[in-house]
């Protein structure tokens, strides 16, 4: 059951008197500017987060192909990307996603699947942090092929999350 959004009471009353179905339909399609802003921010931070998670394995790959001076530069870029861009974007994505769940409710079978995929993204994020730590102490045991394949994981998860979010109206009727 959906909540009635911000619609003037007089308008809703007039619609209810003329047609209860029309009033209900009108209340479902009105979305507040705050709701739209939260969704836009959620999507923006999600794409920043996943872009960082895609770029990090490429930086890990660069460790095996660069000299000592450039390796230090790559490590600095990794730390900046992970701690100052990707991690805050991931945290804000999750906070805004929780906020949106509070606004719209925990409805539909698609949402638990989406939350599982987001949990996998969080685990991937934590794994990237572990790799940064291991590379910093020069204990990485993975080769270039591993890091090339690792780049595909967040892209695959992103595609699945977007498909679920877009297909939720279709899934609701199944």
144 & 157 share domain: yes
What would the two tokens of residue 135 be?
């590379």
Per the CB < 8 A criterion, the answer to whether 26 and 119 are in contact is: no
101 & 156 share domain: yes
**Distance between CA atoms of 77 and 61, rounded to whole angstroms?**
13
113 & 48 share domain: yes
93 & 10 share domain: no
130 & 167 share domain: yes
Look at residue 110 in the predicted model and tell me its pLDDT.
81
139 & 107 share domain: yes
9 & 78 share domain: no
12 & 79 share domain: no
Look at residue 159 in the predicted model and tell me its pLDDT.
93
Look at residue 173 in the predicted model and tell me its pLDDT.
60
C-alpha dihedral (120, 126, 127, 131), degrees to nearest 10: 160
Domain range for 54 is 32-172
Q: C-alpha distances in angstroms, 116 versus 39, 58, 143, 169?
A: 20, 25, 29, 19
Per the CB < 8 A criterion, the answer to whether 26 and 12 are in contact is: yes
**Distance between CA atoms of 79 and 105, rounded to whole angstroms?**
36
pLDDT reading at 13 higher than 60: no
Q: For the chain, how many structural domains are there in total?
A: 2
More confident of the two residues 135 and 13? 135
More confident of the two residues 65 and 24? 65
pLDDT reading at 10 higher than 50: no
Q: How does DSSP classify residue 32? A: -
> Mean pLDDT lowest for which of 76-80, 96-100, 104-108, 151-155?
104-108
Task: State what percent of residues in the chain have pLDDT above 70.
Answer: 75
The tens digit of pLDDT for each residue in 68-79 reads: 778 888 889 999
13 & 84 share domain: no
Look at residue 61 in the predicted model and tell me its pLDDT.
83
Across 8-12, 130-134, 147-151, 153-157, the highest mean pLDDT is recorded for: 153-157
24 & 82 share domain: no
10 & 78 share domain: no
Reduce the DSSP state of residue 65 to 3 states and report it: coil
105 & 25 share domain: no
């Amino acid at each position: 059951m959906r909540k009635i959004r911000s619609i003037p009471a007089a308008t809703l009353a007039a619609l209810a008197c003329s047609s209860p179905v029309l009033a209900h339909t009108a209340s479902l399609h009105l979305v507040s500017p705050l709701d739209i802003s939260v969704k836009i921010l959620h999507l923006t931070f999600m794409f920043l987060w996943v872009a960082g998670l895609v770029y990090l394995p490429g930086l890990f790959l660069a460790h095996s192909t660069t000299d000592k001076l450039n390796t230090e530069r790559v490590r600095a870029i990794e730390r900046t990307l992970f701690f100052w861009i990707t991690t805050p974007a991931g945290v804000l994505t999750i906070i805004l996603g929780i906020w949106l769940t509070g606004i719209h409710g925990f409805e539909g079978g698609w949402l638990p699947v989406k939350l599982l995929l987001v949990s996998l993204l969080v685990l991937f994020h934590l794994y990237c942090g572990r790799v940064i730590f291991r590379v910093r102490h020069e204990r990485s045991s993975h080769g270039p092929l591993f890091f090339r394949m690792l780049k595909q994981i967040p892209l695959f998860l992103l595609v699945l999350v977007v498909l679920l979010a877009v297909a939720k109206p279709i899934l609701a009727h199944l």
